[in-house]
Amino acid sequence: MANNLRPETMERITNFELANAFIEEQVAAVRAQVGDKKVLLALSGGVDSSVVAALLIRAIGKQLTCVHVNHGLMRKGESEDVIRVFGQELDANLIYVDATDRFLNLLAGVADPERKRKIIGAEFINVFVDEARKLEGISYLAQGTIYPDILESIKAAEGKQAVKSHHNVGGLPEDLQFELVEPLKLLFKDEVRVVGEALGLPHAMVYRQPFPGPGLGVRCLGAITRDRLHALREADAILREEFANFGLAEKVWQYFIAIPDIKSVGVKDESRYEGWPAIIRAVNTKDAMTATIEEVPYEVLHKITYRITHEVEGINRVLMDLTPKPTGTIEWE
Ligand code: XMP
C-alpha cells in the first residue's frame, strides 16, 4: 500500500500550469509503463474515466481501446456525448455497446435494491468481458481510480463496512487479469477536474455531478419498467436543464429525480389521469457521508413542476424530498 500513498510534498493541482506539468509527467510515465502494448479502458463517461481516457489518448493514441457500455440506465444524452467527444472529436478507438436489452431483461421484476445493484454490476462485467475477449493483444487495463478510492480500500481492508455496495471494473475472470494503469490514483476529485480541462475535455463533462454506477437503475425505484424508466430519464433531463438555467447546476452537489413504483389519481384534460410522482432530490455534501438540503427557490420548483407534468408522459405530480442524510441516504435505494 505504501507506494499508493500521496507524498506529503505533492503540491495540490489548482491551475493549468500545475495540471500541464502533471500531464507531461504522466504521459511519460504511461509511455514508459506500456511501451508499444495495448491498453483497454471501460469508459463510463464519468469524470474519472473520461479524464483517464483523454490522458491516455494523449500518451498512446490508438494503443488505447475504450469500451463504452450503455446499460440502458444512463441519463439522457450521456452515451451520445461519449461518442461525440471520444469517438469523433478525440478520434479514439471507441467500442460502443448498447446493452440496454441485456440489462433490462435481467432486471425485469427485481425490486430489491441490493439485488438490482448486484445484477447491474455483474452484467456490466459480463458485457465488458465479452468485448475484451473479442480483442487481441491487450496487456493493460486502465482505470479511473482516484485517491479517495485508494483511501476507501484502505478502510475496507481495515474491516470498516460500506453502507451500500459500489461497483467498478473489479472482479474480472482469471484469463483477463491485466496489469493496471492508474494515472490519477494520487489525485483528489478537484484536481482531476483541472487536469480534465487542461486536456481539453468539455467543461460540462469535467464538472458533471456524481452519478452512481447503477445509474438510473437505483432511481427507478423497485422493479424497473421501461415506461417508468423513460419518464424518469425525461424528467431528470428537465431538472438538469432548469438547474443550469437558474445557475444551480454547479452550486448543488447532486440533484436528480427518483420515481417510486406507485401511482396516484390526478386530472389531465378534464379526465382522470393516474400517474407516478417525480421526486426531486437536491443535496450538498463534502464527502457524501452526510448531506444537507439545498434551498431551491419556489420559482424554480414551479417551473420544473410545470414542465415535468406537462412534458413527461405518465407523471402527474412533483414532490420535493427535504430529508438530510441522515436520516435519508442521498439515493432512495
Ligand atoms: P448514498 O445513497 O449512499 O449515496 O447516501 C452516497 C453517494 O454515493 C452514490 N452511490 C453510488 N455510487 N454505485 C456508485 O457508484 C452505487 O451503487 C451507489 N449508490 C450510491 C450516490 O449517488 C451518492 O453520490
Q: Using one digit for the tens of pLDDT, what is the confidence trace for 127-180?
A: 999 999 999 999 999 999 999 989 888 888 787 665 544 445 667 888 888 999
d(CA 274, CA 17): 56
For ligand 1, what atom is nearest to the CA of residue 288?
Answer: 6
- Residue nearest ligand 1's atom 7 by CA: 288
- Cα(22) to ligand 1 centroid in Å equals 29
Average pLDDT score over residue span 223-236: 98
pLDDT > 90 fraction of the chain, expressed in percent and rounded = 89
Which pLDDT score is estimated for 167? 41
Q: Is 329 in the pocket of ligand 1 (CB under 6 A)?
A: yes
Q: Which residue has the higher pLDDT, 152 or 280?
A: 280
For ligand 1, what atom is nearest to the CA of residue 325?
Answer: 5
- Cα(329) to ligand 1 centroid in Å equals 9
Q: Which residue has the higher pLDDT, 155 or 194?
A: 194
Q: Which tens digit of pLDDT belongs to each residue from 241-263?
A: 999 999 999 899 999 999 999 99
pLDDT > 70 fraction of the chain, expressed in percent and rounded = 96
Other CB atoms closer than 10 Å to residue 318's CB: what's the count?
Answer: 22
Q: Is 214 in the pocket of ligand 1 (CB under 6 A)?
A: yes
Name the residue with cell 507506494: 3
Considering only CA atoms, which of 42, 134, 157, 137 is closest in space to residue 94?
42
d(CA 144, CA 213): 13
Residue 191 has pLDDT above 70, yes or no: yes
d(CA 67, CA 70): 10
Q: Structure pTM?
A: 0.93
Average pLDDT score over residue span 202-225: 96
- Cα(111) to ligand 1 centroid in Å equals 18
Distances (CA, A) of 277 to 254, 289, 297: 20, 27, 20
Q: Is 213 in the pocket of ligand 1 (CB under 6 A)?
A: yes
Which pLDDT score is estimated for 169? 62
Residue 64 has pLDDT above 50, yes or no: yes
Q: Which tens digit of pLDDT belongs to each residue from 86-127?
A: 999 999 999 999 999 999 999 999 999 999 999 999 999 999
Q: Is 303 in the pocket of ligand 1 (CB under 6 A)?
A: no
Exposure string for 107-119, b = 16+ CB within 10 A, e = fewer: beebeebeebbeb
Mean of all residue pLDDT scores within the chain: 95
Which pLDDT score is estimated for 161? 61
Q: Is 293 in the pocket of ligand 1 (CB under 6 A)?
A: no
Choose one of 44, 48, 163, 166 to mutate for the ligand 1 pocket test, by most ligand atoms within 8 angstroms of C-beta: 166
- Cα(32) to ligand 1 centroid in Å equals 35
Average pLDDT score over residue span 13-38: 98
| Contact predicate 196/206, CB 8 Å | yes
Average pLDDT score over residue span 234-239: 98
- Cα(212) to ligand 1 centroid in Å equals 5
The alpha helices in the chain, defined as continuous H runs, are 16-34, 47-60, 78-82, 100-107, 113-134, 147-157, 189-198, 203-206, 226-245, 298-311
Exposure string for 171-204, b = 16+ CB within 10 A, e = fewer: eeeeeeebeebbbbbbbeeebbbbbbbbbebeee
Dihedral, CA of residue 77, residue 79, residue 82 and residue 83, to nearest 10: -100
- Residue nearest ligand 1's atom 19 by CA: 212
Helix (H, G, I), strand (E, B) or coil at 93: strand
Which pLDDT score is estimated for 166? 47
For ligand 1, what atom is nearest to the CA of residue 329?
Answer: 5
